[in-house]
Structure 1
Amino acid sequence: MTDTLRVRVGRVEPLAAGIKRFTLQPCDGGALPAFDSGSHVVVHMDGGRLRNAYSLTSTLGEPGHYQIAVRLEEASRGGSRYMHEQVGEGDELHIGAPGNLFSLDHGAGRHLLIAGGIGITPFMTHIQALAARGAAFELHYCFRNARSTAFLDVLPATLQPGQLHLYESDSGTMLDLAALIAAQPADTHVYVCGPAPLNDAVVNAARAAGWDAGRIHFEQFRNEVDATGGAFEAVLQKSGLTLQVGADEPLLRAIEKAGIKVDCMCREGICGSCETTILEGQADHRDQYLSDAEKAAQKTMMLCVSRCKGQRLVLDL
């Protein structure tokens, strides 16, 4: 595979029920690319058939290895199950270079971090970066129960008193979002990563309190989207190719099979990196990136999850 890094799995260890940590080392014995807090890598599995993005949780500034934490999803589309059941110590994997869709705004006076379940992963590097700068921050971590929750053993020792707040729903401890948002100074930025209901609740609470969009940051670690549907024809005008996209085939996969490289970090209609101009036809938009007005305008589409409303699309690709 081109444009990927070859890594060997140095260690696999359980972090909690249904969560494993994988330590990835460079196959050539050299250094891996440096990364900023909040970064992720895309792991290519099963010969490239499966690709999932995972946040890096390792120590910043240590290029000898990467670490990722993978939760086995009950409704896995293949990626997390492959990692849990097929990948062991000594195996080789291909990964993309680190990317970052969830960076810190260093102009903020205070950072409010809110994690839900496995959404804790990008915050494991954020808290390192914020602590190193002496920045004002606190972490609010929501989870169902301690048995199935990662990093509960290390967070109390990592954070200062008053910086860590835990909410275990099975024990009846719940986060009061409205009160938390209302108590923040005017220079606070909020960051949330977790299931869609938590992300939506945080974003809506901040907006209702009058926060502008620049102070609200979120990362959706999972977007349950069906990228299949009716068959159609996709014309790639720049490449001079006409593709027949099958009913059970995502458009992006058909384009990649034709040998056309497309930047796509999330592959779930979230990050916007595969946004492409529509020259003719109308897209069946299934992403969470474009606004309703942008979708109605039919000027661009996300190749990873969206499809064609009719029989033919012409793309500027």
Structure 2
Amino acid sequence: MNQQKIAVHVSRIEQVSPTIKMFEFIAKDTVLDPFSAGSHVTVHMNEEMGLQRAYSLISDPSNSDHYRISVLRDENSKGGSAYMHEQLAEGDVVYLSPAENYFSLEHDDSCKHILIAGGIGITPFMSYLYELEQTGMNFELHYCFRDQNSAAFVEQLQQQIGEHLYLYDNAKGQRLSVEQLIKEQPENSHVYVCGPELLINAVIEHGNTHLGKERVHFENFGEVANEGNAFEVHFQRSGFSLNIGEDMSILQAIEADKRIQVECLCRNGVCGTCETAILEGEADHRDHYLDDDERAEQKTMMLCVSRAKTKRLVLDL
């Protein structure tokens, strides 16, 4: 991952729903680089605490005058969304890592593109829409949310893409049948999903069955739930150990301890930036980065989501 950081001003903050805020950034001393649809940036919030989070860019990829992100206020926040909602103000200066993309749009105008969003998982698709419309590709956006008040960008989407938009308001009993939707699509379609884990898993299951694994694309929008038995991790090069609780990840334990710094862009087992060598023990792999053979080899693991099958792990850190 590119370690360079870009200083930006917070040029605008807008409350787009009771729990979601939009943040707009403009460069302080330089210019912002263009980005591709599906990209996200890491916001560095507190250097002393090592607090940083990655958020999808929702603005037009062809317009680098500003970047925009949207952040859900998580009541169980471990610092990221709470900082963004409660401490960041217009005019403040923060630092961003350059845009990275692990959820890119397939530029194939001969295929249909099915976008499936759950809740705040709508955010990466906001940048998709600019490219899909500009290139004239065939697409549909299926947007599921708890209720109309909690959903973001509904009116904007209705005006922007009209008949390409399908809404599912759970409060009105409107439920998306993932299996039926995917079965109805042409065999050469691409399907993309971002949202809660249950939605992602359903799309992966039925997408792989009806379209093939290479046509299913997914991204989690936050830290994946990480629960399991407690275990010990020893960091060989650093010479100390940490106990990993039942409801925390190895990455979270490292960040709380502060003696080691580990880069992690996605925090949900997709990007591979926190991949670490296993010296002893066996990992419980929960990532979407390693393939089946790499998992079976037990040579490396992702610290943000994976846990231990054994009571002790020794890592090359």
TM-score scaled by length of structure 1: 0.87
Change (3 A) 1:281 1:142: same
Percent identity (aligned): 41
Tell me the equivalent position of 1:37.
37
Tell me the equivalent position of 1:190.
191
Q: CA deviation at 1:287?
A: 2.9
Task: Give, in whole Å, the separation in 2 of the partners of 1:233 and 1:245.
Answer: 4
TM-score scaled by length of structure 2: 0.87
CA contact under 8 A between 1:227 and 1:305: conserved in structure 2?
A: no
Task: Give, in whole Å, the separation in 2 of the partners of 1:150 and 1:306.
Answer: 31
Tell me the equivalent position of 1:297.
297
CA contact under 8 A between 2:145 and 2:168: conserved in structure 1?
A: yes
1:239-278 matches, cutoff 5 A: 241-247=237-243, 251-252=250-251, 254=254, 263-278=263-278
Q: CA deviation at 1:314?
A: 4.5
Change (3 A) 1:292 1:60: closer
Tell me the equivalent position of 1:238.
none
Look up the SS of the partner of 1:175 in the other structure: coil
Look up the SS of the partner of 1:52 in the other structure: strand
Task: Give, in whole Å, the separation in 1 of the partners of 2:131 and 2:188.
Answer: 19
Task: Give, in whole Å, the separation in 2 of the partners of 1:216 and 1:178.
Answer: 13
Alignment size in residue pairs: 305
Look up the SS of the partner of 1:21 in the other structure: strand
Tell me the equivalent position of 1:143.
145
Q: What is the RMSD computed on CA atoms of the aligned residues?
A: 2.6
Q: 1:204 aligned to 2:200? A: no
Q: CA deviation at 1:265?
A: 1.4
Q: CA deviation at 1:293?
A: 5.8
Identify which range, 71-80 or 212-221, moves more after superposition: 71-80
Tell me the equivalent position of 1:219.
219
Task: Give, in whole Å, the separation in 1 of the partners of 2:238 and 2:50.
Answer: 22
Task: Give, in whole Å, the separation in 2 of the partners of 1:109 and 1:224.
Answer: 34
Counterpart of 1:214, as a letter, is: E
Look up the SS of the partner of 1:199 in the other structure: helix
Counterpart of 1:282, as a letter, is: G
Task: Give, in whole Å, the separation in 2 of the partners of 1:85 and 1:219.
Answer: 26
1:13-162 matches, cutoff 5 A: 13-28=14-29, 30-47=30-47, 48-107=49-108, 109-159=111-161, 161-162=162-163
Counterpart of 1:303, as a letter, is: L
Change (3 A) 1:297 1:44: same
Change (3 A) 1:286 1:85: farther
CA displacement, residues 180-225 of structure 1 (integer Å, 9 cap, x when unaligned): 212211211000111011111112222333x210010111113122
Task: Give, in whole Å, the separation in 1 of the partners of 2:315 and 2:270.
Answer: 23
Look up the SS of the partner of 2:70 in the other structure: strand
Task: Give, in whole Å, the separation in 2 of the partners of 1:46 and 1:259.
Answer: 16
Q: 1:233 aligned to 2:234? A: yes
Task: Give, in whole Å, the separation in 1 of the partners of 2:52 and 2:135.
Answer: 34
Query: Any stretches of 5+ residues in structure 1 without a counterpart?
Result: 236-240
